[in-house]
Structure 1
């Protein structure tokens, strides 16, 4: 049976450049990337300025942003690219030391020296040296296996170079046997014969990737040889390379993806700068010159990520392509344009190396006011090793992935909207309801709102609700909705206070100390003469702070003993705060545990009755927090403090209060982290560095608030003025100054 003959794709045009060493007439396409947004592959290499004149001249490399791979430490070194073409000549030393000793002629030609120039130009696009002259190939560190397969003398004919079945099939087998990882075939014109199919089957079964030029006839389907990519014998490891121009449009001559779109990608194929077997520079056009760019991309990826299977390498090239034409994989561009910027960035779900803890590249923590302006600087998270969805290791800077809860504006929530309060007393039972008014100005009543459960309707309509029951002379119990346990405890204590109706300056014992939505609360008090014991409990929720997270819950229980000594009452208490997925109101992703915390508290409280309705009050809460471990977090210990001091007067038709408070603030401690800072692909294991994350803020919020109330027209007129310095415990935050005037009537 006679050999089938393949030819170089028809229509390949070239233009001779004047001045072989310069850049005259050649425009770089695309903006060279300076790196992959802070990420580098492992291991990292010394920083080199690749963005120079040689890179600018190399328009195939710039179009694909090969600099991203180089900055990540990959040049293709250690990978052999087999080029089945017209051979290779190296008159200017562009391939010195990188021509495989296995290079040879597998046709009836003598030696692999290039008599035509096509093979040399193809090899240059893929792997010309970085040597400050002419151009550099995308994989300038790769080894080239030049396998000359053209029929002797055919390139000198008007029909162009011809390649026989026997030579090409033998070359494919030879490339596999001699260690090639990727095979480039910038030729086509005839369907694959049985002999060729068998060779491709053996190559792809061995995990060798084959790149075939898509064809230059401008057809709706790729060249007939390239169509073997869809054949089962290709095992999904054959890539069809189409051509686009400097603007990203499909080249006019390029065969399109058609029904072979799942195997098709484009690279620069119009006016590609390269040089021939005599060292002369040309601008070449044809899918012949798209294919070596794709083959070089394979080499760069395999050199950088030895953990990837050949199938994953191809999937990564497709997944990282720049979408073009119709959205998604389409019949013109297939997967799109070759894009090494994205190929060398993490793709898919990222996890901490050595664990399954999910890692966000944008936000891994949202800090509450208790941690204020604490940062991750100096925590060692600036060089954390993560694995992407392909199991590739990247060193990423996560120190900047901490956000802060928007600065609290407590006055807005405190003054509410149109509210009405109703109080009811029936013997030992007292009930107080504060409800929102509807648009008609009437309090909501009944369960007429459609679409809500009974409980949902109550929550939508009732702002707060409390009920207290005197069980006997010395015992009282209370229940509350949307109120804190401590506030309910003060209520069953007779509402004792210093006289101020404060809107902003918090009592340190009121709630958990951070912003949350109080749910249900209970309180119980029993007196033993001058000694009173009270127990409170509350449960609340915090809104989701991190993307993909859900609302989290907290529970808090306190026990306090209060002893009176004439006008002086001293209280001491202890408590336990459990948080579902937060730490003092801060949310941490799986990288930093993300599994909640437990806080033990100690409380001191003193109240002095000065007479004539005047009193002094001081309170302080100290907390010791332990966090659940996970991700990089191996130890979490925090100390926190909140305190307040106020003076006020109650009784008669007026009341006055002045309070100084320091809201909850972490004073000492943080997280002990075991951060992966190295990764070994041979063992798929990470190396770790122990470091600390300090969560004590530099800012220190201090609040001062004055409150004055006057009984008038059957109700109360309340005024408040306040000043918050370094609000949210953020040192650089501007002061928060405000005031409010309210008038209310209890019905």
Structure 2
């Protein structure tokens, strides 16, 4: 409803007679806006004067409430909105009918255009906006009060610190007695509002969660697959919008799972800690305690958890158990980077055990088991040890209840990230000549991601290393690729449209699980012994295409340690 054109300020005739201001609230019938009986389906529309620049005032206040427009008042302020109402161009009858006998009338009898003012010409802006809203979003057709509320919620706040001549109050922030909720903003009303989610049939998931790079073996598969472009997401009013996944992803933070670089402070604490070792016959035992830095402001500090390793040999058998560190293998590992989903040498929460049986003629069978932070693995290796070379091949069975192989896949579709994997490994080491030791390893794994429909998921991991004595120490060079998805796809029950009743339309969409790039890490290490008890270590690492994202900026780090016994 038009709010009315009755507004006029108070008049003082100078003789003690004051005519009070009028138009402080909408006139009939617009005053019912905001009443409970209106059920949120009535809005009062006031007039807005869009001020144009002039020579004398090139930078005017852009919009002002019209002098003649009835104000919002207190009762209707939450259902009062402003729209253009001055110098509105509209159609009308021929000028001879409107202005009979006027010498400036044109010669034809065709209807003409007129420039008019009044809240009667403001209300159609809101009515048209509401009609477009109901037409564009089918889910609102049976809930017109929601469509109207969107227009009210997305209005630009009208603020004027000067006292209004009609109400005697200022138009402050939020809904007020002068301007109600503010000025109609059609562009904002048709933009997604609030939390924006996709519904894959289980539960609604935010766009940020769906599109954020997952890290781990699957990297940026969600955006690399392109399958999420064109899906339909919903805002807080359950309106449907077409998703431009590439554009949204470019604006999102990385949000990758886990820290890539090792915690250098933790590493330094372990380097400055105490290590002890004892041996008695076929039994050896060693343990390490990280250094504790006292914090005088902390009322209580727990001691760092110690790590230990015990080895016992009996006959052709050998048993190893430990806490912290990780299972030893022939293949080399990068030391300055964390591999998501894989334990590292400075994680102290995990425990592991290994049993080896020597079959004769250098043949060895290993059985092992390990657990750390919700990730468990068990398996076996079969191989051979000779004076100058060794090799192992076997299988590992992995279960991770926290991540999708170090990243996130299921969570973005309403399930819980977890991994079940069977990995097949081949690794070896070779003493080449008198100085060089070469080592390498490769693993291929079949992966299942419970909670989502995936197929043919295979991942790979490999490393190459070379080391040799150099001066007072030993130099090592390592090139490695962490776990990466090489094949595989996921079938999504994806929202692709909205029907005439406003219900989401789902269909199966297949997306590839391979990332856009391939992370390769290069590390060099040099450990050395100086005079008497001084030792040192220097290392540098460069990671290309981090998290298997093509074009991602390289990451690098340096580490240097010099220590002695005290």
TM (norm. structure 2) is: 0.74
Give the structure 2 partner of residue 595 of structure 1: 416
Q: Does 1:572 align with 2:393?
A: yes
Give the structure 2 partner of residue 555 of structure 1: 375
Q: Does 1:231 align with 2:82?
A: no
Say which of 386, 390, 404 aligns to 1:583.
404
Judge conservation of contact 2:340–2:406 (CA < 8 Å) in 1: no
Q: Distance in 1 between matches of 2:400 and 2:449?
A: 9
Q: Distance in 1 between matches of 2:3 and 2:355?
A: 99
- Residue 432 of structure 1 and its aligned partner are, at CA, apart by 0.3
Provide the secondary structure at the position in 2 that maps to 1:681. coil
Give the structure 2 partner of residue 672 of structure 1: 491
In 2 relative to 1, CA 296–726 (structure 1 residues): closer, same or farther, beyond 3 Å?
A: closer
Give the structure 2 partner of residue 655 of structure 1: 474
In 2 relative to 1, CA 605–687 (structure 1 residues): closer, same or farther, beyond 3 Å?
A: closer
Give the structure 1 partner of residue 5 of structure 2: 9
Judge conservation of contact 1:721–1:740 (CA < 8 Å) in 2: yes
Say which of 289, 292, 296 aligns to 2:128.
296
Give the structure 2 partner of residue 478 of structure 1: 321
Judge conservation of contact 1:371–1:697 (CA < 8 Å) in 2: no
Q: Distance in 2 between matches of 1:684 and 1:497?
A: 57
Judge conservation of contact 2:461–2:481 (CA < 8 Å) in 1: yes
Q: Does 1:256 align with 2:89?
A: no
- Residue 341 of structure 1 and its aligned partner are, at CA, apart by 1.7
| Superimposed CA distance per residue, residues 309-358 of structure 1 (whole angstroms, 9 cap, x where no aligned partner) | 12222222222222333333333322222122222223344443573532
Residues 166-315 of structure 1 mapped to structure 2, 5 A cutoff: 219-246=23-50, 247-259=62-74, 260-278=76-94, 279-308=111-140, 309-315=143-149
Residues 38-53 of structure 1 mapped to structure 2, 5 A cutoff: none
Q: Distance in 2 between matches of 1:234 and 1:716?
A: 83
Residues 151-166 of structure 1 mapped to structure 2, 5 A cutoff: none
Q: Does 1:718 align with 2:537?
A: yes
- Residue 513 of structure 1 and its aligned partner are, at CA, apart by 4.6
In 2 relative to 1, CA 587–478 (structure 1 residues): closer, same or farther, beyond 3 Å?
A: same
Provide the secondary structure at the position in 1 that maps to 2:125. helix
Say which of 167, 181, 198 aligns to 1:335.
181
Q: Distance in 2 between matches of 1:416 and 1:426?
A: 24
Q: Distance in 2 between matches of 1:536 and 1:662?
A: 24
Judge conservation of contact 1:676–1:688 (CA < 8 Å) in 2: yes
| Superimposed CA distance per residue, residues 618-647 of structure 1 (whole angstroms, 9 cap, x where no aligned partner) | 2222222222345xxx43553211111223
Say which of 309, 326, 338 aligns to 1:468.
309
Q: Does 1:521 align with 2:521?
A: no
Give the structure 1 partner of residue 229 of structure 2: 382
Judge conservation of contact 1:372–1:699 (CA < 8 Å) in 2: no
Judge conservation of contact 1:353–1:686 (CA < 8 Å) in 2: no
In 2 relative to 1, CA 252–10 (structure 1 residues): closer, same or farther, beyond 3 Å?
A: closer
Judge conservation of contact 1:647–1:659 (CA < 8 Å) in 2: yes
- Residue 416 of structure 1 and its aligned partner are, at CA, apart by 4.7
| Superimposed CA distance per residue, residues 600-630 of structure 1 (whole angstroms, 9 cap, x where no aligned partner) | 2222222335686863322222222222345
Say which of 261, 267, 271 aligns to 1:410.
261
Give the structure 2 partner of residue 422 of structure 1: 274
Q: Distance in 2 between matches of 1:698 and 1:305?
A: 39
| Superimposed CA distance per residue, residues 108-163 of structure 1 (whole angstroms, 9 cap, x where no aligned partner) | xxxxxxxxxxxxxxxxxxxxxxxxxxxxxxxxxxxxxxxxxxxxxxxxxxxxxxxx
Give the structure 1 partner of residue 13 of structure 2: none
In 2 relative to 1, CA 420–571 (structure 1 residues): closer, same or farther, beyond 3 Å?
A: same
Judge conservation of contact 1:274–1:281 (CA < 8 Å) in 2: yes
Q: Distance in 1 between matches of 2:553 and 2:35?
A: 67
Residues 599-610 of structure 1 mapped to structure 2, 5 A cutoff: 599-609=421-431
Judge conservation of contact 2:3–2:70 (CA < 8 Å) in 1: no
Comparing 724-733 with 231-240, greater Cα deviation is found at 724-733
- Residue 384 of structure 1 and its aligned partner are, at CA, apart by 0.7
Q: Distance in 2 between matches of 1:636 and 1:734?
A: 31
| Superimposed CA distance per residue, residues 666-697 of structure 1 (whole angstroms, 9 cap, x where no aligned partner) | 22223233433232123725152533234233
Provide the secondary structure at the position in 2 that maps to 1:313. helix
Judge conservation of contact 1:423–1:746 (CA < 8 Å) in 2: no
Give the structure 2 partner of residue 547 of structure 1: none
Say which of 338, 344, 357 aligns to 2:190.
344
Judge conservation of contact 1:523–1:536 (CA < 8 Å) in 2: yes
Q: Distance in 1 between matches of 2:542 and 2:34?
A: 72
In 2 relative to 1, CA 415–683 (structure 1 residues): closer, same or farther, beyond 3 Å?
A: closer
- Residue 466 of structure 1 and its aligned partner are, at CA, apart by 0.9
Say which of 431, 434, 437 aligns to 2:287.
431
Judge conservation of contact 2:7–2:69 (CA < 8 Å) in 1: no
In 2 relative to 1, CA 694–248 (structure 1 residues): closer, same or farther, beyond 3 Å?
A: farther
Q: Does 1:692 align with 2:524?
A: no
Say which of 227, 244, 250 aligns to 1:397.
244
Q: Distance in 2 between matches of 1:685 and 1:608?
A: 61
Q: Distance in 2 between matches of 1:680 and 1:502?
A: 53
In 2 relative to 1, CA 696–592 (structure 1 residues): closer, same or farther, beyond 3 Å?
A: same
Judge conservation of contact 1:703–1:723 (CA < 8 Å) in 2: yes
In 2 relative to 1, CA 429–353 (structure 1 residues): closer, same or farther, beyond 3 Å?
A: closer
Give the structure 2 partner of residue 536 of structure 1: 369
- Residue 252 of structure 1 and its aligned partner are, at CA, apart by 3.1
Q: Distance in 2 between matches of 1:373 and 1:297?
A: 40
In 2 relative to 1, CA 668–534 (structure 1 residues): closer, same or farther, beyond 3 Å?
A: same
In 2 relative to 1, CA 502–7 (structure 1 residues): closer, same or farther, beyond 3 Å?
A: closer
Judge conservation of contact 2:266–2:346 (CA < 8 Å) in 1: no
Judge conservation of contact 2:48–2:86 (CA < 8 Å) in 1: yes
- Residue 290 of structure 1 and its aligned partner are, at CA, apart by 1.6
Q: Distance in 2 between matches of 1:655 and 1:222?
A: 87
Q: Distance in 1 between matches of 2:3 and 2:550?
A: 72
Judge conservation of contact 1:639–1:668 (CA < 8 Å) in 2: yes
Provide the secondary structure at the position in 2 that maps to 1:315. helix
TM (norm. structure 1) is: 0.58
Residues 71-150 of structure 1 mapped to structure 2, 5 A cutoff: none
Over the aligned positions, Cα root-mean-square deviation in angstroms equals 3.9
Consecutive unaligned residues of structure 1, counting only runs of 5 or more, are 1-5, 13-216, 439-443, 491-495, 541-553
Q: Does 1:627 align with 2:449?
A: yes
Residues 446-457 of structure 1 mapped to structure 2, 5 A cutoff: 450=298, 457=302
